[in-house]
Amino acid sequence: MIISRQKDKAELLHHLEGKHKLFLVGCAACATACKAGGEEEIFQMQDWLAAHDREVTGSVVIQEACHIMRVARDLRQHRTAVQEADALLVLTCGAGVQSLSANTEKRVIGALDSLFLGNVRRLGQYEEKCSLCGDCILNETAGICPVTNCAKSLLNGPCGGMEDGRCEADRDNDCAWLLIYERLTRQGRQGVFARVVPNKDWGRRHQPGRHRL
C-alpha cells in the first residue's frame, strides 16, 4: 500500500490562493487506509474549506484513484460539479493525482504527500519494506531487504557505523545486516555472505516504469 499523509494546512492554503470553488477527490484504497483521503477526511476537509471561505461544488471517493480509466468514468459522472469548480483538490497519493490530471484540464491540487510503499503493522503503523528496485536479492537475505532496510542500501554486509547491532543513521533501529545475519544463521545457511554481491543493476528499475502482462 502507498503510505501518504496530508500536507501541512498552511502549505495547502498557499496552493488554494485564488481558488474559491473546489471539487474534492478521495481514494477508497490506500489513502483511506492511511486516514489521509477517505470519506471521513473528505468531510473534514469540507469543513476546513468552509471555515476558510471556500465553496465545495461536490466530491467523490474513487475506488482506486490510481486506476486511470476509473477516474475518467467517475469524473464524467460528476461533470457538472467538476465544471463549476475552479480546481480539484485531490486527497490521494501522487499516482492518483496524476490519474486526475490526465483526465481534466482543470487545475489539480494535491493535498497529500506520498511517503513510501508500506507494509501494515497495525492500522496507523506502517513500515517500509520494499523499494521497488527491480533487482531483488531477498532470496539470499533471508527475506529481509537490505536495499530498503539498510540506511545506506549496502549489499555486502554492515558498514563501519554498526554499533552493538544498531544502525549508524538511527540508533533506535537494528542494523538490517544484523537481522539478515541472525536469520540466515538460524536457518543454517550462508545466503548473501557466500558471495561478493556485484554492483546493482539499477537499469532494471525503468523510469518511467511501464509494464504489460
- Taking the least distance from each CB to other proteins, the nearer of 47 and 135 is 135
The CB-of-191 to other proteins minimum distance in angstroms stands at 10
CA-wise closest residue to 52 among 22, 87, 93 = 22
119 near other proteins, judged by CB under 8 A: no
CA-wise closest residue to 61 among 99, 32, 20, 94 = 32
Q: Which stretch binds other proteins (CB under 8 A): 17-25, 34-42, 95-103, 158-166?
A: 158-166
- Taking the least distance from each CB to other proteins, the nearer of 50 and 132 is 132
Measure Cα distances from 61 to 4, 17, 28, 89, 178 in Å.
16, 24, 6, 12, 43
Contact 7, 70 (CB under 8 A): no
164 near other proteins, judged by CB under 8 A: yes
Measured between alpha carbons, how far is 146 from 156 in angstroms, rounded to an integer?
9
181 near other proteins, judged by CB under 8 A: yes
Measured between alpha carbons, how far is 166 from 156 in angstroms, rounded to an integer?
17
Q: Which three cell numbers stand for residue 68?
A: 486511470
DSSP SS3 for 128: strand
Size of the site for other proteins (CB under 8 A): 28
15 near other proteins, judged by CB under 8 A: no
Is the four-CA dihedral 27, 28, 31, 35 of positive or negative sign?
A: positive
189 near other proteins, judged by CB under 8 A: no
Calculate ∠ Cα 110-116-118, nearest 5°: 125
Q: Which stretch binds other proteins (CB under 8 A): 42-50, 53-61, 93-101, 173-181?
A: 173-181
The CB-of-180 to other proteins minimum distance in angstroms stands at 9
The CB-of-167 to other proteins minimum distance in angstroms stands at 9
The CB-of-113 to other proteins minimum distance in angstroms stands at 16
178 near other proteins, judged by CB under 8 A: yes
- Taking the least distance from each CB to other proteins, the nearer of 38 and 158 is 158
Residues that bind other proteins (CB under 8 A): 151-165, 168-170, 177-178, 181, 193, 196-200, 202
